[in-house]
Amino acid sequence: MDNSYQELIKGNKLYAEHKLFQDPEYFNKLSAGQSPNYLWIGCSDSRVPANEITNTHSGEIFVHRNIANLVVHTDTNMLSVLEYAVDFLKVKHVIVCGHYGCGGINAAMSNSFHGFVDNWLRNIKDVYHKNEDELISILDQTERSNRLTELNVVEQVRNLAKTSIVQKAWTERDLHLHGWVYGLNNGIIKDLAVIHNGGEHIDSIYRFDLSQKQETANCV
Ligand code: ZN
């Protein structure tokens, strides 16, 4: 039997002791509540831990992760996290962070059969298809994968902007959406500068008329 999991329990004891040594009130303060400024939507990849690569601590980032950092409008898990972060925690920034060398991106670029996960990867194939002219002009497979990684992040930020949750928040306050890509080979985050802080760049069919909804609600 593999007992390596016990290392995690030992590691946790060291962590708790270290924190208490630095600040005896550390856990009392943390357990009082959270008010993070950021929601992080990242890849499940074990090499891209949100807090570690941004040099932040417990309580600073609300996190959602899935394979290839997707924002799928029927994903009740992601939407619940987004709603809680935006409506209740009042985060100021939502960051979609992909990473170069992503297994999900590479799998989606291939024609291989992987199983159920192919249904999830289909979302990336759609991004590929949408940008096929640009992508097939890149002959180097790694460079093509890197570009799809970036295009995927841009698409997921757009998907965030299309949600009623984000659009409702924009009628009430500032909320910034960002698209980043992390480099596994150098530890550096690249900001793709796809910042959205309003719905003016969203195609009209995806824009909710929230003032009208309010009036309708008041009439009922
Ligand atoms: Zn990944």
* Residue 173 annotated as catalytic: no
The alpha carbon dihedral of 177, 58, 79, 96 has a sign of positive
What are the CA-CA distances from residue 112 to residues 21, 121, 165 (Å)? 51, 11, 36
Burial (0-12, 13-18, 19+ Cβ within 10 Å), 19: middle
Contact (Cβ atoms closer than 8 angstroms) between residue 94 and residue 86: yes
Q: What does pLDDT average to in each consecutive run of 10 residues of the chain (220 residues)?
A: 94 98 97 97 98 97 98 98 98 98 98 97 98 98 98 97 96 96 98 83 90 57
Could you tell me the pTM of the whole model? Answer: 0.93
**CB within 5 A of ion ligand 1: which residues?**
43, 45, 102, 104
Q: Report the distance separating Cα 69 and Cα 44, nearest Å.
A: 8
Question: How is the chain split into domains, by residue range?
Answer: 1-33, 34-219
Whole-number Å distance, alpha carbon 162 to ligand 1 midpoint, is: 23
Q: Which CATH superfamily is domain 34-219 in?
A: Carbonic anhydrase (3.40.1050.10)
Q: Is 43 an active-site residue?
A: yes
The alpha carbon of 10 and the centre of ligand 1 are apart by a number of angstroms equal to 28
> Is 45 a residue of the active site?
yes
Distance (Å, rounded) from C-alpha 190 to C-alpha 213? 38
Distance of CA 137 from the midpoint of ligand 1 (Å)? 23
For residue range 194-207, what is the model confidence (pLDDT) as tens digits? Answer: 877 777 788 899 99
Residue 25 pLDDT: 97
What pLDDT shows up at residue 27? Answer: 97
pLDDT at 220: 47
